[in-house]
Structure 1
């Protein structure tokens, strides 16, 4: 008995054998090229927005920091229209030599050394609580803890200013006499309380997402081995959220260097703070001409210095955490 191959199958097989290898290779390259083009088309909207919103402002700020507006007149008192003049790194030299800038930077660093650990520990504690079996309705409490972040920062600062003002505060009359939340020695802590109230819920979600992404088999195995809830939280859950803690602290460092809403609102009722209480306030008021020296050039120099300092602090913290994680 002899098996015969149908003519259509035999013709197709012959055609495949007859196809040159180069044509097959060209087909593969064409498919890869089409996939690459499709990928770039999907990426294009983000890339365009990234360039417009992120890259272009940085380039404009760097360019502005190299120029200064000077009077066009040549008399003793200047005069004439303001002309944009290239000054090189003079604006950076002025910014670096400005004691007001470094005094404000010292305040925000002190503020961050106290506020960031308190907020991070509070956010981690809330996340551990919501991830446990103690809370019956985690969705409700998750929304309640996150709600302060949904309030605009200026509105939240104005609300806390109202609570801190003795003449109108609903709880100040019940505190010990002489309590002043806006005194020079306590106002940083008062602003820290405002920021902690606003951002603890946001950082809690970062920790909670990391906890819920962890495999539940780890917790079940620990319970079978006789571990208590406290031991599971301290020895298993906390080490698992180390990456989330790094992200939360890095974001907090950047936000601390850019502290603006709270001190600006507090300064409206406490003029002794001045227009340069924080570096961000000094930058903003220099741009508006309310602080000296003023102008777009010096304001851009301040902002770039703040970016460099925030980046250095973030990198130092990340390296310390990586070295600590490697040693452990």
Structure 2
């Protein structure tokens, strides 16, 4: 085997897992979305009927708008906290920097299910220690409560990405700026943050995907606030309810495909806006 083909041998396990665990389920879901089940006749060909139904489904559209609002509220706060933590660690002025970095990152190691259960206990009106501060499980506060859980979980993950990008910035730039009289704040604003734009864009793309796939947290908090979180509170929760509660697998597959399309469009919009700003 020549050197050119050895590379394919090394990536073959990944390609196999990618095909079996991602491509084949995706193709099968697309196949299911083109059928529907009837009381008389069983499963029959539906074409794009499930997609037309989804475009007119107010519950699905409401869920998409809700997670879009969640994204606009939660992601800027999370990235700002991650950026501040990364800059604080990289500054070299923070005492016990390793302990601080570990403390911020530890929540990411906690599974989403455990995090939702823990915060659900804190929010609970009957026994939660935070219940006296505000009605966190009410309709007015629920989106902010979910945003708090996700921010607690993923700030450390984004901090690590940003801190790794900061470590790649040549220290000669900092030394030159210091010689010119720039202080730590000016160095951070003029050198470090501009150097982090690619890493921030990566974190933003991950956040787009994660926000529109929100599932575990509302699914668990639904037990505590069933009158606030219904089966269509988020698109992922809606698709899950359609497939496993209503047994409408074909329509659930169409909803999942449309959700994927929304994620692709939102990700492209982020890349397009970012590219326009860099050119300007």
What TM-score do the two structures reach when normalised by structure 2? 0.96
Alpha-carbon displacement from aligned partner over 1:159-209 (angstroms, at most 9, x marks no partner): 111101122112434x3xxx2111111110111011100000000111001
Give the aligned partner of residue 69 of structure 1. 37
Partner Cα separation in structure 1 for residue 113 and residue 102 of structure 2: 21
Contact 2:74/2:151, CA 8 A, preserved across alignment: yes
Residues paired across the two proteins, number: 279
Higher relative contact order (CA 8 A, sep 6+): 2
Question: What pairs up with 1:213-228 in 2 under 5 angstroms?
Answer: 213-228=168-183
Cα offset for 1:262?
1.4
Deviation at 1:265, TM superposition (A): 1.4
Q: Match of 1:192?
A: 147
Alpha-carbon distance in structure 1 between the residues aligned to 2:79 and 2:32: 37
Of 233, 240, 264, 2:188 maps to: 233
Q: Show the 5 A alignment for 1:69-88.
A: 69-72=37-40, 83-88=42-47
Do the aligned partners of 2:116 and 2:216 also contact (CA within 8 Å) in 1?
yes
Residues 123 and 129 of structure 2 are in contact (CA less than 8 Å); yes or no, is this contact kept in structure 1?
no
Which residue of structure 1 lines up, in the alignment, with residue 226 of structure 2?
A: 271
Residues 102-137 of structure 1: per-residue CA shift (max 9 Å, x gap)? 011111111111101110111101000010121233
Which of 36, 53, 69 is the aligned partner of 2:21? 53
Q: 1:72 Cα deviation (Å)?
A: 4.3
5+ residue gaps, structure 2: none
Q: Distance in 2 between matches of 1:322 and 1:148?
A: 32
d(CA) in 2 for partners of 1:71, 1:172: 47
Aligned partner of 1:95 in structure 2 is 54
> How many angstroms apart in 1 are the aligned matches of 2:104 and 2:249?
40
1:286 paired residue number: 242
2:222 is paired with a residue whose SS is helix
Q: Report the Cα offset of residue 50 of structure 1.
A: 1.5
CA distance in 2, matches of 1:70, 1:36: 53
Q: Give the superposed CA RMSD.
A: 1.3
Distance (Å, rounded) in 1 between the aligned partners of 2:12 and 2:234: 38
4+ residue runs over 6 A deviation: none
1:310 to 238, 263, 273: 263
- Work out which of the residue numbers 46, 66, 73 in structure 2 matches 1:114: 73
In 2, distance between residues paired with 1:40 and 1:107?
43
Q: Secondary structure of the equivalent of 1:269?
A: coil
Is 1:320 matched up with 2:273?
yes
Q: 1: distance between equivalents of 2:50 and 2:185?
A: 55
Give the unaligned 5+ runs of structure 1: 1-32, 74-82
